[in-house]
Structure 1
Amino acid sequence: MDEVAVVVAHSERATLRVGDVFLKVDTDQARIDAEVAALALVPVPTPEVLWRRPPVLALAAVPGRALGRLGEPSAASPTAWAAAGAAVRRLHEAPLPPWHGRRRRDPGELAAELDGECELLVAHGILPADLVTRNRHVAEAAIRPWTPVFTHGDLQVDHVFVDGDEVTGIIDWSEAGRGDALFDLATLTLGHEEHLADVVSGYGAGVDLDVIRAWWSLRSLLGVRWLVEHGFDPSAPGCEVDVLKSRM
């Protein structure tokens, strides 16, 4: 029998791998509902749904390897990064899903959330005040009206799989919905600024690089405390804290 490997686990959800099957256990069935619905709609390669018995969703592994990892240099070619950009463009040009994204809110709500998070980061001594202040200023460019598209919502670099220069699968669709296209592109290139031009070359026109860089700061500021509280290390080399420091 294949060993059971814990891919990720915290108080909200866990993902296990047994051979070529991934088992996602989630306390929030709305997330699983969104994932199953998105998998049926998106025009890009995705995992096959094998079965669902709440709170568990079973998915087949996709071929290939992750485009990269946060905090590590990517071994994928510039062509593979461009192919990822082209796949994201196909997603963003797909018809809008009937539900809204779980993460993104209107500019006023997002600004209020960011202000509150910045206060907590400084008050609890998680990040230095000057680092937070500088990145709060950079992040302002992302807080603007945007036209919704079909977004992945959590397009981390290790959620995109490639074989050679071809995208073979995009995984983890639980945050999918209507959202900001540039948030997806920023999440994909977070910590991999050297591949931003490759992604944009595959994605095509309509990309504001200043907004992507703003999303790097905004996403990192909003994520650091959650990561710490759930047992992750955002201060590891190349991860969120380094992203924030690079804006200085």
Structure 2
Amino acid sequence: MCSLATMADVDEVEVVVAHNERATLRVGDVFLKIDADQARIDVEVEAMAMAPIPTPEVLWRKPPVLALAAVPGTALGRLGEPSAASPAAWSAAGAAVRMLHDAPLPPWPGRSLDEIASRLDVECEWLVTNGVLPTDLVTRNRRIAEAALRPCTPVFTHGDLQITHVFIDGDEVTGVIDWSEASRGDALFDLATLTLGHEEHLGDVVAGYGTDVDLDVIRAWWSLRSLLAVRWLVEHGFDPSSPGCEVDVLRARM
């Protein structure tokens, strides 16, 4: 078990991400997640314990801080940058997602379709009213997003399966991090989040996933997730218009 004394031997603290909701720091091989919302931390700890795929080891917890061991390997890639990972690594990521989706459901629910649709309406109105994105771009992607808002059989979803949250070593998945959004949800949402901005690897992921999926629904989730993300990213100091990021994903649908 890691102790504060061990951490004191490290002379550098890396800020991995920080905004007014939460922050993650790296101190040596330990990640410190600071979150005032203990419900999110509760979900993260329980989801990692339930998941049938590699997850970070919980070293200690002292609210509002959760200490996790670093997972080996490197991230599958980053949004807005080409991925150096092999097709086999992307396929392995798809296989890991399938293992998760085949696992028993977590006891807590996810967001309902009505909640998602309501938020989508609010965000699209905000984007247009404030002139953040062109009306035709929002309207076109809002129409595409409709395909994601359909009933489906819920599975155990990660809920925020960005490529930076999947770690690989060679062609093997070594760990999946950041489980605070885990819940019952749509399997295709996870697949869409994993491949957002990396459409060229969708075939590899689906091959590893090992079953037919509706590609139009995955594309719908790309539009929906991007529309929902833009305001949050802007308000928290991130740039969704960077090359290859959310705004480019929306433009690609035109």
| Range of TM-score over shorter length | over 0.9
State yes or no: 1:119 paired with 2:122.
no
Alpha-carbon separation, structure 1, partners of 2:57 and 2:83: 26
Counterpart among 102, 105, 128 of residue 112 in structure 2:
105
Question: Where does structure 1 differ by over 3 angstroms across 4 or more consecutive aligned residues?
Answer: none
How far is 1:42 from its partner? 0.4
Among residues 50, 58, 61, which one is paired with 1:41 in the alignment? 50
Per-residue CA distance 1:175-234 (angstroms, 9 max, x = gap) = 011111000000000000000000000001141100000000000000100100010000
Matches within 5 A, 1:136-215: 136-215=142-221
Percent identical among aligned pairs is 81
Structure 1, unaligned runs of 5 or more? none
Show the counterpart of 1:128: 134
Q: 2:231 aligns with which of 204, 214, 225?
A: 225
Instruction: Name the aligned partner's letter for residue 90 of structure 2.
Output: W
Residue of 60, 68, 74 corresponding to 1:65 = 74
Q: 2:36 aligns with which of 12, 27, 33?
A: 27
1:109 positional shift: 2.9
**RMSD, aligned α-carbons:** 0.7
Letter in 2 for 1:203: Y
User: How much does 1:27 deviate?
Assistant: 1.1
Aligned residues: 245
Amino acid at match of 2:172: E
Under a length normalisation based on structure 1, what TM-score does the superposition of the two structures give?
Answer: 0.97
1:37-68 CA-partner distances (Å, limit 9, x unpaired): 01111000010000000000000000000000
TM-score for both structures, normalised by structure 2 = 0.95
